[in-house]
Amino acid sequence: MAVAESHLVRRLRSGSVEPYSLFGLANTPRRLHHCSVQIRKASVEDAVEACQVVRRSIAELCQADHQDDPIVLEKWLSNNTFDNMRSWIADPDSYVVVATEGAAIIGVGAITFSGEITLNYVSPDARFRGVSKAVLNQLEARALELGNNTCALTSTETARRFYLSAGYVQFGPPEPGIGKGSSYRMVKQLFPSAQAV
């Protein structure tokens, strides 16, 4: 453990990593360091492409939840339409962001003004590149800006380990999920970054 801690201290002192990104705090740079991904507020013009990302993510990455059952998958996708995405983006009580690489949208996230995360999906083409984490960090930063000291969400079976690794804790027992897996109510305490103090 001492070796890992000294490595982190060296990285902090060298300025190669921001303190808040190491410890999962909400404020994070908008640009990922190892790729050209940017996080920005979504516009209604993004709705079609953002919806396609969400639908592909559900169909291709959430097998633990729908287990390739066409009835379950259709039920899950039925709420994720272009019209619904447009309304979520236009909703004044919701904040929707997209992760872009060049002109392409590769991630989508949303949070309500009360701190409830309602979307965090990544394109299968961008999986394991830190896109979901960057989107989550941006949503948490927005929650803090709005005066929330916690974020809450309902996780799928597929995303549960991701959220646990991001500092969320399970709140209550698992519930039946939209598919064949369980859903998990989760919450995270937020802290302002040292730079904001």
The CATH number of whichever domain residue 42 belongs to comes to 3.40.630.30
Asked if the structure places residue 4 within a domain, the reply is no
Check residue 1 and give its pLDDT.
32
Where would I find the H helices in the chain?
2-14, 19-22, 47-61, 63-66, 70-77, 82-90, 131-145, 160-165
Domain range for residue 44?
25-196
Q: Does the pTM exceed 0.75?
A: yes
**How many CB atoms are closer than 10 A to CB 53?**
26
Buried b (16+ CB within 10 A) or exposed e, 22-31: eebbbbbeee
pLDDT, mean over the chain: 82
* Amino acid code (one letter) for 184: Y
Asked if the structure places residue 1 within a domain, the reply is no
What is residue 31's DSSP assignment?
A: B
Nearest partner of 119 among 85, 87, 164, judged by Cα: 85
Asked if the structure places residue 83 within a domain, the reply is yes
Please state the domain count of the chain.
1
Asked if the structure places residue 154 within a domain, the reply is yes
Confidence of residue 35 (pLDDT cuts 50, 70, 90): low
- DSSP 3-state assignment of 108? strand
User: 110-124, 142-156, 163-177 — which is least confidently predicted?
Assistant: 163-177
* Amino acid code (one letter) for 138: Q
CA angle (156, 141, 185) in 5-degree steps: 25
Asked if the structure places residue 17 within a domain, the reply is no
